[in-house]
Structure 1
Amino acid sequence: MIKSIAKSVSQVDMGKNNLYVSLCNLNRQIFTLVILLFSTLINSIYSQTPSYYHYTSSDGLASSTVYDIIQAQNGFIWFATANGVSRFDGNQFATFRINDGLNSNSIIAMAEGRNGELYFGNYEKGINVLKDEKIQNYFTEINGQRFGISYLFIPQDKTNEQTIYAYGTYSGINAIRESKIAGFTNTKISLFQTDIYAIYKLTQLTNGKIIATTSGGLYDFENGNFTKLNITGLPDSDLYSFVEGDDGSYLAAAKSIIYHIKADKVIKIYDVKEYGDLGVSHIYFDSNKNIWFSIMNKGFYFIPSGSDKIIDIGSKMGLQNSLVNKYFEDNEGNIWISTFGKGVYCLNNLYLKSYNENDGLSNNTVYSIAKENSGKIIIGTFNGINIFEDGNFRRLKRNIGKPLTEYIYGIKNFDNTFYVGVSLVNQKIVKVTSEEINFYIFDLQSFSKTKGGLYLFGTTSDFIIVNRRLNYIDEGTNRFYIFGDNPNLNRINDIFEDSQKNVWIATANGLCKLSGLSYSANEFKAEKSFFPNDPVLSSRINYVTQDNQNNVWFAGVNGIARYNLGSDSVTSFTNLFGHDLSASNSMTFDRMGRLWLANMKGLFLIDGKMIKHLSGKTGLPSSEVLSLYLDENENLLYVGTSNGISLLDINQFDNFNPQPPNVIIVEVEAGDSVYTGYDNLVFSPEQRDVKIDFTALNFSSPGTIKYRYKFDGDWINTDFSFLNFVSLGSGTYTLQIMAKSKNSDWSEPTYLNFQILPKFTETFWFYLLILLILICFHLIFIFWRIKVHKKKIIAELELNERINELKHQALSAMMNPHFTFNALNSVQYLINSKRNEEANDYIAMMAKLIRKHLDTAGSGFILVSEEIIRLKLYLDLEKLRFQDRFSYEIINETHFDSSTLMIPNMIIQPFVENSLWHGIINSGIKGLLTISFSFEDVNIDSIISRSLIINITDNGIGINTAKKNKKEDHISKGIQIIEERLKLLSTKMELPKPIMLDDLSHRNPNFQGTEVI
């Protein structure tokens, strides 16, 4: 996009050519010169340059020859060109040609249907329609013949079927109707039966009537019939264009004349013959009641609302010899102008009118602006002073006639006398009078005149010059230092006296307040106050002013500040509503008390609740705003910039309320696929990368668009009109996008919903499959545990069977044949020895012992007390047999209750029997057998457990000697069975080694015997 301001054709140069031709006649020369000067004056009265954007084919427009412009219902602006159609969003053009479905590239007219479909009129190849994002052929032939098209017209009539009128100037009208039942029908409306031979334009009024401008005047067009309109004062001749006003009036354009019609009569005539004796080809009445018109090949012109003055804007934009094809006002109030061969122009922000060096300004850098009582505007620039009146710039000249060309520091107006600080070579004050305006010019940076009549001059050396007379050079200087007592590099930028007679000194090093001023005997005194802790007032201050609320305001390098004279309080603003206020140059207040701030980043309007910002992107000649002046009578704000001066109409600006731009989704790209329809978007699992292109339609200030979006969480700001989402997961997503332009609010969000299908590994079925697999593994594990448990149970059963088998073996062992044989021998011996009573006791004891064995044979465990009784019976029998060759003792060492504790059955007697027969009987000494029961702490797998310990001790020959005397083939079945039983029990109950045998001689060689534990 190119923003340009074209140079105007200099009327002076044209005058010079005329003078050169007429040098032969002095009188004619003088006359021509007078006429030329008058013409120059008239033309310069309205020599303003509008703010505009210029678009050509180099910017993406299909062609620089543009025939028609429309704005579709969705907000896009479309251009019909000689090389296709272009769609524009304010930033980018999208172009459509034959390859996109057009019948030809030469599109001369466009129209929009009821449902938003667009119709494109080809010059010689019928009509195309854009519907559902696709261009198709709509209508090509009538009665087998092609028809020429210059215009397309669709009346806004919702009661009847839609009718498209396709017509040319001399070829009549083709009415095309499309019915859902009957299909296409067309009617040829011929001009042969009328008094007219040409139709220039069909226009629909707000009341629904259709007016035709023709070769025979104005006609009412209804149901295919033409009815002559009788307008008093309107000739029955060629009328080329027609437009409706806002008060029931109309404008009709003919050759070199514009007729203003109301109540069926001409009420005003605009004679434009001096701009071209040709037909007024187009005329337009905008929403601000301005009249725009163009003359064939003579550019275009402008009549401001409420004025009869004609402004040749075309010449200012280099279009003085160009053909304008169409005027169009978009929904933002911008005026679009299409041309033949020179592209389109968008005249934006029409509340601004700008002037620069091409308009006669001596220099584009404007440092100071003031107003003289008669209405003249005094403008100080980098190259002298300009007097601006009725749009005309005149240079201020010295008394010797030469223009003032010095750099202007500033201009102050006191009592309609202007005091100008300039960069003079000498320091004398020079008085210049021009047009009865007095200027005092001096080589100092700033100036003020107090209510007490003191003249204050600011220097660059940290002091002000104070004097009661203006010409301080002749009267002598009285220096008053600001920050020190000696000259120092510190420029005084501004001097201002407030309503309480305080003088404020704005310097490069900060602000100083002077109060209690007195001047006597050429001595100036004042109390100085500084603001070292304030971030704004302790730095460079450029400008000081006062509002009507008793506040003194300051503009400086770090922002702005406000000093309240009533409370002596300071409020500083370095940033306001997100806008950086640093590098502020000047300020003023309008009728509503709003603050206008000149800043190096643009022009700010601050009303306390919000802030608006204007810059080079919104119509100002430059974003570097250097000076301001408010004309309260006209409610105009003069804005001096580094590239010219602008006049801002505050009334129009307040009426211009930029609406938030709507966000439109342009394209969605997912994977390798591109989508232009955005309802119910569903992407495959492989389409994880999604790119979204969107735009916000804004044509007034397209470079100021900001976006923010919300996808998953908070809002995120961006300056880009596209979003890339990479490696998205499966699921349903909602994207919200909002936009705002300069000085507008955020728009309502535009929503885009889409779904990414999951991969199989992300589906419910996959997770269900995983769950089933886990369940199967779990079941397998359970079955394995059950199997292991069964094996364990079987092993336990086998163990129990083995234990039961051992029980039977133990039962058999109880009836040891050796014991029984010896017992019977003993009974026999007693009987033979006539010791019948003892034999009888022996038999009784033996019977009792056998009875005990039989009673407990089926029990795996037996009470300790029962075991002791059985042991006593056995030992008493053996003692009776061996005639007291041994004695025994049974000891309960820990005195536990033996009647409640159980031990495995028949595990003690075999060891007792072994001690007797293999230990004591063979020892040759009287034996002693000790059986003890006690509880002791036993370490089982690092766990201390309380366990029953049974000790069987004898003083026999010892286990080692007994093993030597034992026969090789002797097998102690009882001992083996007990050992196996106790081993099985120890494995089952996780007990330590159950039996320990020890020869007592190992402990002490003087002892003998065996201990069984």
Structure 2
Amino acid sequence: MYPSKLVSIKYLFIFPLFMVMGLYISAQSAFRSVSYGTKDGISSLRCRQMIKDTNGFIWITSDKGLNRYDGNSFYVFKHKQDDPFSLANNSCNGLLSDSKGRLWVNTEDGLSLYDKAHQNFTNFYPDTSVMRVPSLGYTQMAEDNNGRIWMGGIYDVLIFDPATQKFMTGGWFDFAKKSGIIKFNKRNSIIQSIVKKSKHELWLLTVYGLFSVDTKTMQYSYYPSKDIDDYFAFNISHVDKNGVLWIGTYDRCFYTFDPLGNVWTHHKCPPKSTNFPDQMVVIQPYHGDTLVMMRMDEIYLYQADKKIFQKLHFKDDEAKVHSANNINLAVFDDDIYILKSENPVLTRYFYSPLMIQKQNIPFTKDFINNSGFYIKNNHMLTGDWAKGKMLICDSLTCTTLTYKNGQSKTGILQLYYRSLAGVSYLSASHVVFILDEEKKSVEQLSITDCFDPDIEIEFRNFVEDNSGNVYVRERSKGIFKINRNNQSLEYFDVGIIDDSYGALYHDKATNKLWLATDKNGLYVIDPLTKKTKNYPLSTSFSMKKGFISDISGDDRGNVFLLMPGRGLMHIKSKSMQSRLYTEEDGLISDEVRYGFTSDEGIFWFTTESGIMAFNIPKNKLYSFENEPDAKLFFHRIFPDHTGNICQNLFPGQIICLNKNIINKGMTPGKLYLKEVTLFDKKLKSDSIFTLKYDENNLAFRFGLLTKSVVIQPEIEYNINSRSWQKLENDMSLNLFNLSPGKYIVEIRQKNHPEIRHTIKVIIRPPWWSTWWFYTFILTATALTGFWMYKKRIAAVRKEETEKNALRQQISKIEMSALRAQMNPHFIFNCLNSINRFILVNDTDAASEYLTKFSRLIRMILDSSHEDMITLQKELDSLRLYIGMEAMRFQHSFEWKIDIDPSVQTGNVLIPPLLLQPYVENAIWHGLMQAPPDWGIKKIHIKISSENDGQNTIIAISDNGIGREKAALLRSKDVDGRKSYGVVLAQERLKLLSRSNGNDATVIIKDLKSPEGIAEGTSVIIRLPSIAKNSTV
């Protein structure tokens, strides 16, 4: 939380005591104050002790937790029942930063040790064996030379040894009891203060008096005061460099005890209100021998050697300081912290030199300051635009500038320039003057007639080259050169065509003029040759437009372009290398306005949000957000006679910023992680968080540890180096539903981008998304794939083996079929037929028969070398065979082959020599066995297709005697031949089905008349239609 009230400057009035004390505080010095209440994050109105640790945090105990203050905001640590690493108890009392920099907190239930790294606590609890009443007192704590922690408990001193993590009693009560110091129990025998005395000794202040203890021997000593019988509410508030104890009291002002002479001294306090006791509860060192003291209604500075009290007053802040509810006071690094039992609970006062001052211009009330400058002799030059008049003022009076003829209406004051030759110039829109500061008069420079009468003349800024030539910019024409001989203005024509010129600058390092135009960007001009070079900025520097409001720089080639809306561009004039600074680089605003460079190498410039500085040697930006009046600088700035940065302040002042503000200004502070929660449950703070995949809702709270920053800074963040975004909601960052992965979170102050805090968040993936699981899956997949590959290889090899076996079997069957078709009976019969044709002198028939026989043999032999042949070839061989059988049987039967047009016999493949056995059976066993009176014997072969050509149907039918009668009549040798050929054909069809996965079937039907008389046989062969280019 940040202070609910704006920081305001309070002037501290302690004169004439300051002169006496030698304190560097005067009426022109300033204390700033900032106040905090419970709505700003403080846990309670009942705060108790304060301490500053080695890291710079201020810790404040209360009855409702432990407060940590970082200079800007509060964070409260509290006890939580379900968190063993929280505070031992919310009621916190004493605080101690030990020799190792560890923070110890004395609570009602036990001792808590703060873990800086994880921002939690380790707790230690005493038991009744060492503590009669289970409660620790409100006392301070101290560390002895052995690292043991001493604290006050009810009835006795408690000692905690971090090495053994055990408590023990100090033995003070027994010593005081045996020594007769304790005669009866007084207010529970409270130990009120324990402080360091020497290397091996501690001071103890109890309700029974002052004691010391040797921590090596555990021997106690007693230092009574004859004037004090009850030390209740006494406390050792301070031990000075001489070892003197300063003891505050509740109702007796304060005492000092000098151990060298065992001298008690009672001191009187200033008069008090009758409503309050004579108290001085807190005494703290301030400057030198000066002490700051607090009682309920007043704060005092006390000079010890002179015993002089002086009230500490803050102008307009009396009620805050003197509210009669002061609880405690502490001084850390010269800042004064006051605790109260009412809101605001904490007020912090810190000294700060005045960095910004305003000076009133002593003109009459009817004069308005539209433009003002410091000129020669630290006088002020100001102009009223409405009146068209100019004044020169000192701290008391103003004088109107006039022409030599006494005319006072000189025009609208724009800019002032004093040349190296000591000549002062003024631009007053339509004219340029030479100013005589001594005579308070002006002389107008003549001008050549080069202006269009319809164009308004507007002269603006001056520059001077290395030869002492002075140039002045005019808004519509560009550059004019001042002729020093006749004091006239001459148009300096460099051939640039534009109608609006925004800025003019001379770079001494290159002796070049820099001229900004509104339309064409930047021109760099050689004043000797008038040669120009154009930089449109829209392309050269990747800018969308190149409007420039001002150009400034130093004598060493550092030039700055101020481009409103775009930022600040720094250019090295000799190399023209550039860098653009924007809000992402630390500018408080990209709306930059005007600037100038000081002799110290600091470039000062204004923005719409206030003034900034750029340290050229360090390449570092500075902003001054802790100076509220820094926002008043938004126009042209100029130096005064001491080098401070000044600006005209409408309507009647000049405001100046101390040039040393960079060295004496506020430090930027240190960003840190204040708290991190996972699903609203607090985690140990760290820089690296490694979480499970379902622990992905995180909330981070950040803080800024600083002594000086009291106005909330603007904080930005980025994740994984993406664009910077403003951190809203009390410097909190919430990350929801983070996917598994690594996240680098960076935070920074916008105006101090070099100061960053980095956190690394690692969200581990679920086990099924981890690399080892993927490795397992890949390995298992690879092994399974390898196993399946091996299995497939084995199956392929087995399949190849089976196919080879099938091929061998097919080859055997083919050879058997060949032998079956070429059996000796067939050959013998063919030869007999040829012989018969010869004997009957039918040589033509014998020749024809022999020719067909040779062709058939040739076709059978050719087909026997192929697994598949076309249906056309099979039919051709079949025609030869049937033709030969018809000649042999003297054409005693008719035959024909019908082919359906849908069947492309030249493109359909079938096994060779497949149909001949069925045709042979039909001729020999069906037709030739029929009696002579059977009638016309016929054999019919029909080729067709079905299922859109997917199957080829071959039907072989005859009108013979049928299978039943043939079985009765067939002879023995015919039987053997017939059975062998048909069986081989059926086996080949089965092998065909197994090899290509398609069914090939043979159906044999007996044809009968309605009366049941055999009329022949039909063989139907259904084959899959295998195209000629298919692989079988």
Q: Normalising to structure 2: TM-score of the pair?
A: 0.58
1:129 equivalent to 2:135? Answer no
> Which secondary structure does the structure 2 equivalent of 1:160 belong to?
coil
Of residues 678, 683, 691, the one that matches 1:669 is: 678
Of residues 44, 61, 79, the one that matches 1:80 is: 61
Question: Hey, what does 2:150 align to over in structure 1?
Answer: 164
For 1:218-268, what per-residue CA distance to the aligned partner results, in whole angstroms no more than 9, with x for missing partners? 99985476799xxxxxxxxx99754779xx999989999999x9x99xxxx
Aligned pairs for 1:954-969 within 5 A: 961-963=936-938, 966-967=960-961, 969=965
> Which secondary structure does the structure 1 equivalent of 2:43 belong to?
coil
Shift of 1:641: 8.8
Question: Hey, what does 2:615 align to over in structure 1?
Answer: 607
Question: Hey, what does 1:447 align to over in structure 2?
Answer: 416
RMSD over aligned CA atoms reads 7.2
Q: How far apart in 1 are the matches of 2:477 and 2:200?
A: 66
Aligned pairs for 1:42-121 within 5 A: 45-51=26-32, 53-63=34-44, 66-71=47-52, 77-81=58-62, 83-88=64-69, 93-96=74-77, 107-112=92-97, 118-121=103-106
Question: Hey, what does 1:860 align to over in structure 2?
Answer: 816
Counterpart contact for 1:705–1:719, Cα < 8 Å: yes
1:186 equivalent to 2:170? Answer yes
1:410 equivalent to 2:372? Answer yes
Shift of 1:320: 4.3
Shift of 1:557: 4.5
For 1:698-736, what per-residue CA distance to the aligned partner results, in whole angstroms no more than 9, with x for missing partners? 23447436465666x879766365555555567xx5554
Counterpart contact for 2:284–2:331, Cα < 8 Å: no
Query: What code does the residue aligned with 1:874 have?
Result: N
Shift of 1:84: 3.9
Residues 45 and 10 of structure 1: is their aligned pair in 2 closer, same or farther, counting only changes over 3 Å?
closer
Shift of 1:693: 2.0
Shift of 1:889: 0.9
1:596 equivalent to 2:604? Answer yes
Counterpart contact for 1:63–1:83, Cα < 8 Å: yes
Q: Normalising to structure 1: TM-score of the pair?
A: 0.59
For 1:659-698, what per-residue CA distance to the aligned partner results, in whole angstroms no more than 9, with x for missing partners? 653445x23315x86544779988677x253314242442
Question: Hey, what does 1:465 align to over in structure 2?
Answer: 432
Shift of 1:56: 1.5
Counterpart contact for 1:493–1:543, Cα < 8 Å: no
Shift of 1:860: 1.4
Shift of 1:589: 4.7
Shift of 1:4: 1.9
Shift of 1:160: 0.9
Question: Hey, what does 1:578 align to over in structure 2?
Answer: 585
Counterpart contact for 1:451–1:501, Cα < 8 Å: yes
Residues 570 and 982 of structure 1: is their aligned pair in 2 closer, same or farther, counting only changes over 3 Å?
closer
For 1:887-924, what per-residue CA distance to the aligned partner results, in whole angstroms no more than 9, with x for missing partners? 231465699799898589xx999999986776554459
Shift of 1:759: 6.3
Shift of 1:45: 4.2
Question: Hey, what does 1:456 align to over in structure 2?
Answer: 425
1:353 equivalent to 2:354? Answer yes
Counterpart contact for 1:221–1:227, Cα < 8 Å: no
1:321 equivalent to 2:331? Answer no
> Which secondary structure does the structure 1 equivalent of 2:375 belong to?
strand
Q: How far apart in 1 are the matches of 2:816 and 2:112?
A: 107
For 1:53-107, what per-residue CA distance to the aligned partner results, in whole angstroms no more than 9, with x for missing partners? 4322121211356443334567654322465432345665443567778798664
Counterpart contact for 2:688–2:760, Cα < 8 Å: no
Structure 2 gap segments, 5+ residues each: 183-188, 224-233, 262-267, 403-409, 495-514, 525-535, 537-545, 867-874, 896-903, 929-934, 939-957, 1003-1032
Question: Hey, what does 1:843 align to over in structure 2?
Answer: none
Counterpart contact for 1:432–1:440, Cα < 8 Å: no
Residues 487 and 449 of structure 1: is their aligned pair in 2 closer, same or farther, counting only changes over 3 Å?
farther
Aligned pairs for 1:171-570 within 5 A: 174-178=157-161, 180=164, 183-188=167-172, 223=215, 241-242=237-238, 281-284=282-285, 293-296=292-295, 297-299=297-299, 314-315=314-315, 318=318, 319-321=320-322, 323=326, 325-329=328-332, 337-341=338-342, 342-346=344-348, 353=354, 379=359, 384-385=360-361, 396=362, 398=363, 406-407=368-369, 409-414=371-376, 416=377, 418-423=379-384, 426-428=387-389, 430=391, 432=393, 434=395, 444-450=413-419, 456-459=425-428, 462-467=429-434, 477-478=444-445, 484-486=451-453, 494-495=461-462, 500-503=467-470, 505=472, 513-518=479-484, 520=486, 523-525=488-490, 527=492, 530-532=515-517, 533-534=520-521, 547-549=554-556, 557=564
Q: How far apart in 2 are the matches of 1:219 and 1:481?
A: 96
Structure 1 gap segments, 5+ residues each: 15-33, 229-237, 265-270, 356-360, 367-378, 386-395, 808-857, 930-937, 996-1013
| Number of residue pairs aligned between Structure 1 and Structure 2 | 815
> Which secondary structure does the structure 2 equivalent of 1:889 belong to?
helix
Question: Hey, what does 1:978 align to over in structure 2?
Answer: 981
Residues 775 and 280 of structure 1: is their aligned pair in 2 closer, same or farther, counting only changes over 3 Å?
closer
For 1:437-467, what per-residue CA distance to the aligned partner results, in whole angstroms no more than 9, with x for missing partners? 98969863433344667553333xx423324
Counterpart contact for 2:283–2:294, Cα < 8 Å: yes
Counterpart contact for 1:52–1:346, Cα < 8 Å: yes
Q: How far apart in 2 are the matches of 1:631 and 1:311?
A: 38
> Which secondary structure does the structure 1 equivalent of 2:936 belong to?
helix
Q: How far apart in 2 are the matches of 1:899 and 1:585?
A: 107
For 1:452-498, what per-residue CA distance to the aligned partner results, in whole angstroms no more than 9, with x for missing partners? 67553333xx4233246569998785575999555866766655656
Q: How far apart in 2 are the matches of 1:501 and 1:912?
A: 126
Question: Hey, what does 1:152 align to over in structure 2?
Answer: 140
Counterpart contact for 1:601–1:615, Cα < 8 Å: no
Query: What code does the residue aligned with 1:185 have?
Result: T
Q: How far apart in 1 are the matches of 2:449 and 2:289?
A: 54
Residues 490 and 662 of structure 1: is their aligned pair in 2 closer, same or farther, counting only changes over 3 Å?
farther
Of residues 689, 711, 718, the one that matches 2:696 is: 689
Counterpart contact for 1:637–1:650, Cα < 8 Å: no
Residues 116 and 923 of structure 1: is their aligned pair in 2 closer, same or farther, counting only changes over 3 Å?
same
Percent identity over the alignment is 11
Q: How far apart in 2 are the matches of 1:291 and 1:281?
A: 14
Question: Hey, what does 1:743 align to over in structure 2?
Answer: 752
Q: How far apart in 1 are the matches of 2:399 and 2:613?
A: 33
Query: What code does the residue aligned with 2:516 have?
Result: F
Q: How far apart in 1 are the matches of 2:580 and 2:470?
A: 22
Query: What code does the residue aligned with 1:608 have?
Result: I
Query: What code does the residue aligned with 2:492 have?
Result: E
Question: Hey, what does 1:371 align to over in structure 2?
Answer: none
Shift of 1:434: 4.5
1:758 equivalent to 2:767? Answer yes
Counterpart contact for 2:817–2:913, Cα < 8 Å: no
Counterpart contact for 2:156–2:190, Cα < 8 Å: no
Shift of 1:549: 4.0
Residues 485 and 225 of structure 1: is their aligned pair in 2 closer, same or farther, counting only changes over 3 Å?
farther
Q: How far apart in 2 are the matches of 1:446 and 1:967?
A: 137
Shift of 1:162: 1.5
Q: How far apart in 1 are the matches of 2:94 and 2:648?
A: 43
Residues 474 and 793 of structure 1: is their aligned pair in 2 closer, same or farther, counting only changes over 3 Å?
closer
Q: How far apart in 1 are the matches of 2:717 and 2:101?
A: 28
Q: How far apart in 2 are the matches of 1:577 and 1:716?
A: 7
Shift of 1:739: 3.5
Question: Hey, what does 2:497 align to over in structure 1?
Answer: none
> Which secondary structure does the structure 2 equivalent of 1:695 belong to?
strand
Q: How far apart in 2 are the matches of 1:56 and 1:612?
A: 37
